[in-house]
Structure 1
Amino acid sequence: MLIDRNGLPTEDVWTYVAADVSDAANDGSAAGPVSRDTVLPLDAWLAADAQGVAPAGIRVQGHEDPERLAALLPKLALVVIEFPKTRDGRGFTLAKFLRDKWQFTGGIRAAGPLLPDQLAMLWACGFDSLLSPSNVPTARWREAALAAQVRAGRPRTLLARLTA
C-alpha cells in the first residue's frame, strides 16, 4: 500500500516489475509492454534505456552509488529506494544525495521493512511517499505523520525554546 506525506493511504499509479521478471520485460516477452508508469530495477532500466524504451521509474537498493544514478535523473520521474532491513540507513543517505546534491525534483519513494518510527527521518531526507509493509496497519503511519508534524512545529534547540 502506498502511503503519502500525511501518513494516509493513496492510489498508486505506478506498475512495479520485480527483479526476477525484469529480463522478460526487456526482451518483450513480459505480460505487456513497458509503459512510462513502470518501475524497473536498475539493471533492467539500464537495458531498457539502451533500447530507447526506458520508463520514468527506477528501483534501486540503498547501497547504490549515488554518482551512478546522477546521470539518469533527468530521465526519471520516480526513484524507489529499497531498504533491505529496518536498521540499514544507506537509503536515507541516497535520498539526501538525490535531493540536495543533484536537486532531483521527482518522486522519491521508500520500500522495504520500514517502521512508522522512521517516518519523520524519511521525510527529512527527501522521501515523499513509501510502500508500506503489509504487516504495519495504516493507522500507525497516520499516527507517526501527525507526531512528526507536531515535533516539526516545536523549536529544536534549548535557546530556540527559551526565546520562543
Structure 2
Amino acid sequence: MLIDRNGLPAEDVWTYLGADTPIPVDAANESCQQSVLPLDAWLAANERGAAPAGIRVQGHDDPERIAALLPQLELVVIEFPKTRDGRGFTLAKFLRDKWNFQGAIRAAGPLLPDQLAMLWACGFDSLLSSSEVPTARWREAALAAQARAGRPRTLLARLTA
C-alpha cells in the first residue's frame, strides 16, 4: 500500500518489476516508463536503451553509482531490509541535498509509523507499507510530525516564541 506525505493511502501508478522480468525494447511505451526495476536490471535495460523511469536500490548501494543515473529517473525506491537499518535515510539525504534530485523518493520495507517524521526529514515523498500496519497509524504519525514541525525546536527558540 502506498502512503503519501499526509499519512494517507494513495494510488500507485508505478509497476514494480523483478530483475528477471523482460522489458519491451520500445522505451517510449508508457507502461515501460512507469516501471521500477532493481539497480542491476535497470543498468542492463539502460544498455539496451529500454530503461524505465524508476529504479529500486538498497540503502547499502554506492550513492556515487546512483548519482550518475539521476537525470534519467523520475522515481527512486529505497528498500530498507529491516526497521533498524538507517542506511536508506542517508542515501535519500544524499540524493536530495548533495545531488539535488527533484524526482520522487519512495521508501519500501518493514518501516514503522514512528519513523515517518525522519523519512520526510530525509527527503522521502512516500512509502510502500505492508498491510500489517493499519492506515490509521500512518495518519496519526503524519499528524504528529506536522504538529512537531510547527513548534520551535530548541529551548531558546521555545522560550523566546
TM-score by structure 1 length? 0.93
Question: Is 2:14 aligned against 1:17?
Answer: no
Relative distance call for 1:145 and 1:57 in structure 2 (3 A) is same
Q: How does 1:36-51 map to 2 (within 5 A)?
A: 36-51=33-48
For 2:6, the equivalent position in structure 1 comes to 6
Relative distance call for 1:150 and 1:23 in structure 2 (3 A) is same
CA-CA distance at 1:27 after TM superposition: 8.1
Relative distance call for 1:77 and 1:147 in structure 2 (3 A) is same
Please list the CA deviations of residues 109-130 of structure 1 after superposition, one character each: whole Å capped at 9, or x if unmatched: 0000000000000000000000
Q: How far apart, in 2, do the equivalents of 1:72 and 1:108 lie?
A: 14
Deviation larger for 111-120 or 127-136: 127-136
Q: How far apart, in 1, do the equivalents of 2:24 and 2:43 lie?
A: 13
Deviation larger for 132-141 or 70-79: 132-141
Flag structure 1 segments of 5+ consecutive residues without an equivalent. none
Secondary structure of residue in 2 paired with 1:58: strand
For 1:68, the equivalent position in structure 2 comes to 65
Misfit runs of 4+, over 2 Å = none
Secondary structure of residue in 1 paired with 2:100: coil
For 2:127, the equivalent position in structure 1 comes to 130
CA-CA distance at 1:25 after TM superposition: 1.8
Please list the CA deviations of residues 23-63 of structure 1 after superposition, one character each: whole Å capped at 9, or x if unmatched: 342587xxxx9600000000000000000000000000011
Relative distance call for 1:126 and 1:151 in structure 2 (3 A) is same
Q: How far apart, in 1, do the equivalents of 2:153 and 2:21 lie?
A: 50
Q: How much identity, in percent, do the aligned residues show?
A: 82
Q: CA RMSD in A?
A: 1.6
TM-score by structure 2 length? 0.94
Relative distance call for 1:145 and 1:24 in structure 2 (3 A) is closer
Question: Is 2:105 aligned against 1:114?
Answer: no
Flag structure 2 segments of 5+ consecutive residues without an equivalent. none
What amino acid sits opposite 1:60 in the alignment? Answer: V
